[in-house]
Structure 1
Amino acid sequence: MKVLIVKLSSLGDVVHTLPAVQDLLAAHPQAQVDWVVERGFAPLVTRSQGVHRAIPCELRKWRKAPLSRDTRHAWRAFRQDLHRDAYDAVIDLQGLTKSALVAHMALLAPGGKRYAMANRSEGSSYEAPTRWVADVAIPVEPASHAVQRGRAVCAAALGYVLQGPPRFGLGRADAAARDDTVVLIHGTSRDDKCWPEAHWLDLGRRLIAQGHSIGLPHGSDEERERSERMAAALGPRAEVWPRLSLDALTDRMARCAGAIGVDSGLSHIAVALDLPHVQIYNFDTAWRTGPLGAARQVSVYASPTPDVGPVWQAWQAVTIRG
């Protein structure tokens, strides 16, 4: 059986989809699972256990210049790549017009079907073309965690029963390979998800006093400048990481003692790596995107933002459990 997953972006959404693939392969060990994803996130898909092929696309880039020669050439190459196989099941887990387009373009094997979500779930984007394209539209719970939603849709599409907690298939470094670094994930795509810099410094000093080193990743110039300010204030036990590729950054995080971060793609990777992790929320949305079911991973929410005390208490708790 050949299955195509369509989940293009964003980073957190891609991470939340990884357990659906592990479920699918547990139920159908001989299945070939391919995945269409934005090129920037393809390294994460490729390293997920059991994924046969990541098929990268650049829809975000192409729509900025849809008629340019470069876009036309890249689109043809993507189409050829997509058509290397015909699929018994094409499962659109994005629920948007762009993912419906990709699902429609994919080739079906004789008897193959396209599957998609029949309705929107709370807090998630959804566009009607996804169900127009589908041969089978699968109802989803209106209030469902992003991880569980993808797992449930794949299970319904391919006729198996979900078993156990989510598994992400990224693995984790052996204990001997891990160091004492706690990575502080302070960057996010939305300013209203950020945590005050003074809080990070307070937390960093507590961690250093506990014997940890501090890792400070960044993905933009603004985040780099914040990392540099924090490192200067925290001293030599704090290191500003170079701007790494997603694959290299995942490898580096896997060797850490744990992570504390805001609601962001990197925080979700920390969850997928099974690191002791505290995820900080300024909005009451952890129920649909936060850590799910692992004692070593928790979320802390308060409005307008959590204080350092509850975050520190949560960190103490997850490290004991971890």
Structure 2
Amino acid sequence: MGAKILLVKLSSLGDVVHTLPVVQDILAARPGAQIDWVVEQAFAPLLSPLLASGHVQRVIPCELRRWRKAPLAAATRAEWRIFKQQLQAVPYDAVIDLQGLTKSAVVARLARLAPGGKRYALANQTEGSAYEAPTRWVADVAITMAPHIHAMQRGRELCARALGYTLPPVPDFGLKVPPTLMGRAQAAPETIAFVHGTSRADKQWPLENWITLGRQLMAQGYRIALPHGSANELATSQAIAAALNVDDEHHSDERGSAIVWPRLQLDALTQHLSQCAGVIGVDSGLSHIAVALDLPHVQIYNFDTAWRTGPLPDPAGSGLQRQRSVFAQPTPSVQTVWDAWLSCQPLPAQVSEWAPLP
């Protein structure tokens, strides 16, 4: 019987995505390990592929964000009791708090340890990341990390040092394109997803830039897909699609059309993204999913923080950078994003005929 390990990474979407490689790291070093994961309910569907593959045994959902709004409500108390029962159903050899916040420290403290089991956590704040002291107080072993470190590497190193193994050089997110999608019809127009939505307005890219870029891609025969996760994002998707489809109404075969996807749960949205030829997006959780899927991807930054959350430099040494980040203030130009897009994918034979943007 392998070691029983509990990972505590509750939110947000990008943070959960950056933690995915931890699962594959542990299984490579400790075959037979049984891994459970505590996560906010909203992000639990992202872990469905890991459940289906057996790489994660249990996903334990919580709704701490909602519960804190009405802590004394009868529904909250009932749901909290169920959560505690699920959390304490298994004694763990290692509980690893990857969040570094009071809320994750509470979850780690409530988890049940097996005889000789230990709780592990971060001993310090790293640059650009939130940190609260209770995570260190609750831990049996608090591990000091380099202050300047990528968010994904921080979690991977924390687990490697807690469990005593050497990190594989290339992260494996465990999100694979379903085999049924590998043979999709090549005659269909290839789709580029535009991830324009983000939780912060100052991370957004101007609407007119998306429209200009969409026109350039549609001129090469691509279809543009527009996901959304809120009413405001839906309105932006519809505005982009309307502008692009007015330009493209002469395409009776739908080549180059812009489509607004329905609002999807994360597991379905991940599958939709996996069918795309690439993704162009702002710094957001969906952009990080594109990286996890190993899609050609350009990530747009209005702040110089790509070193902490953006695509890593080519880890395999292949010489092809499939994902790139671009940064400028107040925001990168369309030409900069276009040039990055061309450089992050195997280029088709007709690339020499592609005209640069005006």
How high is the TM-score relative to the length of structure 2? 0.88
2:72 and 2:265 map into 1 onto residues whose CA distance is 29
Corresponding position of 1:257: 277
1:70 and 1:21 map into 2 onto residues whose CA distance is 33
Query: What are the equivalent positions in structure 2 for 1:133-148 lying under 5 Å apart?
Result: 133-148=138-153
SS at match of 1:177: coil
Q: 1:176 aligns with which of 175, 183, 204?
A: 183
Corresponding position of 1:292: 312
2:346 and 2:206 map into 1 onto residues whose CA distance is 26
SS at match of 2:93: strand
Check the 8 A contact 1:117/1:130 in 2, yes or no: yes
Q: Give the residue type in structure 1 aligned to 2:142.
A: A
Check the 8 A contact 2:197/2:204 in 1, yes or no: yes
Check the 8 A contact 1:46/1:53 in 2, yes or no: no
2:235 and 2:157 map into 1 onto residues whose CA distance is 41
Between 307-316 and 39-48, the greater mean CA deviation after superposition: 39-48
1:177 and 1:293 map into 2 onto residues whose CA distance is 30
Corresponding position of 1:280: 300
Per-residue deviation, 1:229: 0.8
2:164 and 2:84 map into 1 onto residues whose CA distance is 29
Q: 1:230 aligns with which of 227, 240, 251?
A: 240
TM-superposition CA deviations, 1:178-226 (whole Å, max 9, x none): 7611000000000000000000001000110111000000111111011
Check the 8 A contact 2:48/2:267 in 1, yes or no: no
Q: 2:214 aligns with which of 198, 204, 207?
A: 204
Per-residue deviation, 1:268: 0.4
TM-superposition CA deviations, 1:30-72 (whole Å, max 9, x none): 0000000000111112323511111000000000000000000
1:321 and 1:21 map into 2 onto residues whose CA distance is 33
Per-residue deviation, 1:321: 6.9
Is 1:305–2:331 an aligned residue pair? yes
Query: Structure 2: which 5+ residue stretches go unaligned?
Result: 249-256, 315-320, 349-358
2:110 and 2:193 map into 1 onto residues whose CA distance is 41
Per-residue deviation, 1:172: 2.2
1:10 and 1:149 map into 2 onto residues whose CA distance is 16
1:22 and 1:191 map into 2 onto residues whose CA distance is 34
Corresponding position of 1:34: 36
Corresponding position of 1:113: 118
Corresponding position of 2:317: none
SS at match of 2:120: strand
* Closer, same or farther: CA 56–203 of 1 in aligned 2, 3 Å: same
Percentage identity across paired residues of the two chains: 64
Corresponding position of 1:156: 161
Is 1:245–2:255 an aligned residue pair? no
1:53 and 1:141 map into 2 onto residues whose CA distance is 31
Corresponding position of 1:69: 74
SS at match of 2:276: coil
Q: Give the residue type in structure 2 aligned to 1:186.
A: H
TM-superposition CA deviations, 1:261-306 (whole Å, max 9, x none): 0000000001101110000000000000001133100100001100
2:156 and 2:265 map into 1 onto residues whose CA distance is 28
TM-superposition CA deviations, 1:71-107 (whole Å, max 9, x none): 0000000000111100000000000000000000000
Q: 1:132 aligns with which of 133, 137, 141?
A: 137
Per-residue deviation, 1:171: 0.9
Larger radius of gyration: 2
2:286 and 2:230 map into 1 onto residues whose CA distance is 13
Check the 8 A contact 2:277/2:296 in 1, yes or no: yes
1:161 and 1:246 map into 2 onto residues whose CA distance is 31
1:177 and 1:289 map into 2 onto residues whose CA distance is 31
Corresponding position of 1:14: 16
2:340 and 2:244 map into 1 onto residues whose CA distance is 21
Check the 8 A contact 1:8/1:99 in 2, yes or no: yes
SS at match of 2:183: helix
Corresponding position of 1:99: 104
Aligned residue pair count: 322
2:184 and 2:38 map into 1 onto residues whose CA distance is 32
Q: Give the residue type in structure 2 aligned to 1:51.
A: V
Check the 8 A contact 1:218/1:227 in 2, yes or no: yes
Q: Give the residue type in structure 1 aligned to 2:197.
A: G
Corresponding position of 2:286: 266
2:107 and 2:21 map into 1 onto residues whose CA distance is 22
2:347 and 2:38 map into 1 onto residues whose CA distance is 36
